[in-house]
């Protein structure tokens, strides 16, 4: 089968389209899925921008195979199942990329999985079953940028009829947003600022609207198409980021705050009670700290890379800084049932909070992987979510 593999063969474009063996199910409770869509994530782009320490360092830190098949935003149709798998052939599914203790067959599970925190699985880099920590970072199991992928039955979530194939890969970024917001819930009614209007930012807008409907959402966007998409997704206000820092005044007006300092040293006094950094660059992390209110919360959803940060507002404002990654099982709000973040994400997609035609801007065949990565990296060219369609 075909797969886009991260292998550093070409330093200018460190991925190759290769032929690999079709993956076999490791055990009877696994299934093989024909991939209908594989999204390109911001964390994937970090690999192409070389700001996460490079593949060898990443492999040592996170338990990543090398070379590895890319693509962790995965949707498809169950093609075949093992003898003990309860998912029916032909089922359209969203695929959880995380490979924690249960899929690996580790019993007893690690302390994190035992406590119901699979996002913090201690065995993600253990090498049991696979050297990869998740689908999209391993070999031998396929991936979202391939024709086929295999997954444990616990990693498969049937798609509601209301979620079209076109929208199916969006479950992953929405789940990221839901998981973070439930880890540090908004006080419903408090204004929320979302920094960044790429897919994680837009998914956050959708999740806030679904989970905290009384909270007005302001989006700080840099590019035209992202600003338009934020409005389409339902942001209450969209403010354009300016290199001279003039957007601080516009943001201040949204929450009756005032601006201290100027330009790159601007800070909101009385800022937003809740700020989501959906980008993860050093300047956006610093901006989030400068835009949050005293004793407010900053939720970091962007894949933060190595950089320099001004942490003085964290101390001065007595702010709470929360990181959230991967997917997990969390209690609902106000005593609502405990559920997986991907199940919640599929409900949000089915309800229409994140219209796929507003955010999926480009689709490519696997053979066009170079063009796909170029398009995804060119935010000025209008890309928001770029998706591989192996059937093209």
Listing DSSP states for 37-81 in one string gives: EEEPPHHHHHHHHT-SSHHHHHHHHHT--SSEE---EEEEEEEEE
Long-range contacts from 336-343, C-beta under 8 angstroms, 24+ separation: 338/116, 340/96, 340/157, 341/175, 341/176, 341/178, 341/179, 341/182, 342/94, 342/96, 342/157, 342/171, 342/172, 342/175, 343/157
How crowded is residue 21: how many other Cβ atoms within 10 Å of its Cβ?
Answer: 9
Q: What is the pLDDT of residue 50?
A: 64
> Where, residue-wise, is CATH 3.40.50.720 in the chain?
179-336
Residues in the chain, overall count: 392
2-158+355-388 is a CATH 3.90.180.10 domain:
yes
* Contact between 207 and 348 (Cβ < 8 Å): yes
Is 179-336 CATH 3.40.50.720? Answer: yes
Q: What pLDDT is recorded for position 382?
A: 86
What is the value of pTM for the model shown? 0.94
Delimit the CATH 3.90.180.10 region(s) of the chain.
2-158+355-388
Residue with tokens 């770029």: 386
User: What are the structure tokens assigned to 331, written together?
Assistant: 């209690």
* pLDDT for position 265: 86
Q: Write down the pLDDT at residue 47.
A: 85
- Written as tens digits, the pLDDT of the chain (392 aa) is 999 999 989 988 999 999 999 999 999 999 999 999 999 998 888 888 765 544 455 554 455 678 999 999 999 999 999 999 999 999 999 999 999 999 999 999 999 999 989 999 999 888 899 988 899 999 999 999 999 999 999 999 999 999 999 999 999 999 999 999 999 999 999 999 999 999 999 999 999 999 999 999 999 999 999 999 999 999 999 999 998 999 999 999 999 999 998 887 899 999 999 999 999 888 999 999 999 999 999 999 987 767 788 899 999 999 999 999 899 999 999 888 899 999 999 999 999 999 999 999 999 999 999 999 999 998 778 899 999 999 98
Cα–Cα dist 226/364, whole Å? 20
Q: Which of 316, 313, 287 is nearest to 300 (CA)?
A: 287
């Amino acid at each position: 089968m075909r797969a886009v593999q991260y292998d550093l063969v070409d330093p200018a474009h460190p991925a190759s389209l290769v032929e690999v063996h079709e993956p076999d199910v490791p055990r009877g409770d696994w299934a093989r899925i024909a991939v209908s869509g594989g999204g390109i994530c911001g964390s994937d782009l970090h690999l192409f921008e070389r700001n996460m320490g490079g593949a060898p360092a990443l492999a040592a830190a996170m338990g990543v195979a090398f070379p590895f098949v890319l693509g962790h935003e995965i949707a498809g149709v169950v093609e075949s199942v093992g003898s003990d798998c309860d998912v029916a052939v032909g089922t359209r599914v969203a695929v959880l990329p995380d490979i924690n203790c249960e899929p690996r067959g580790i019993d007893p599970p690690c302390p994190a999985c035992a406590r119901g925190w699979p996002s913090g699985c201690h065995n993600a880099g253990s090498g049991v079953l696979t050297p990869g920590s998740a689908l999209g970072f391993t070999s031998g199991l396929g991936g979202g940028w391939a024709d086929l992928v295999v997954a444990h039955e616990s990693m498969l979530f049937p798609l509601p009829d209301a979620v079209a194939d076109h929208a199916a890969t969006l479950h992953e970024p929405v789940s990221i947003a839901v998981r973070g917001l439930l880890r540090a819930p908004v006080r419903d009614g408090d204004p929320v600022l979302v920094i960044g209007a790429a897919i994680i930012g837009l998914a956050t807008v959708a999740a806030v609207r679904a989970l905290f409907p009384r909270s007005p959402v302001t989006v700080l966007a840099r590019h035209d198409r992202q600003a338009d998409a934020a409005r389409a997704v339902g942001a209450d206000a969209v403010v354009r980021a300016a290199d001279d820092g003039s957007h601080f005044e516009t943001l201040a007006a949204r929450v009756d705050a005032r601006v201290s300092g100027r330009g790159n040293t601007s800070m909101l006094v009385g800022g937003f009670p809740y700020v989501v950094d959906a980008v993860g660059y050093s300047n956006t992390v610093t901006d989030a700290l400068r835009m949050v209110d005293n004793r407010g919360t900053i939720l970091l959803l962007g894949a933060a890379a190595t950089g320099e940060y001004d942490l003085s507002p964290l101390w001065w404002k007595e702010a709470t800084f929360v990181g959230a990654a991967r997917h997990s099982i969390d209690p609902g709000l106000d005593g609502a049932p405990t559920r997986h973040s991907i199940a919640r994400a599929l409900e949000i997609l089915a309800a229409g909070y994140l219209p796929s035609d507003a955010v999926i801007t480009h689709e490519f065949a696997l053979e066009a992987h170079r063009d796909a990565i170029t398009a995804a990296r060119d935010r000025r060219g209008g890309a928001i979510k770029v998706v591989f369609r192996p059937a093209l």
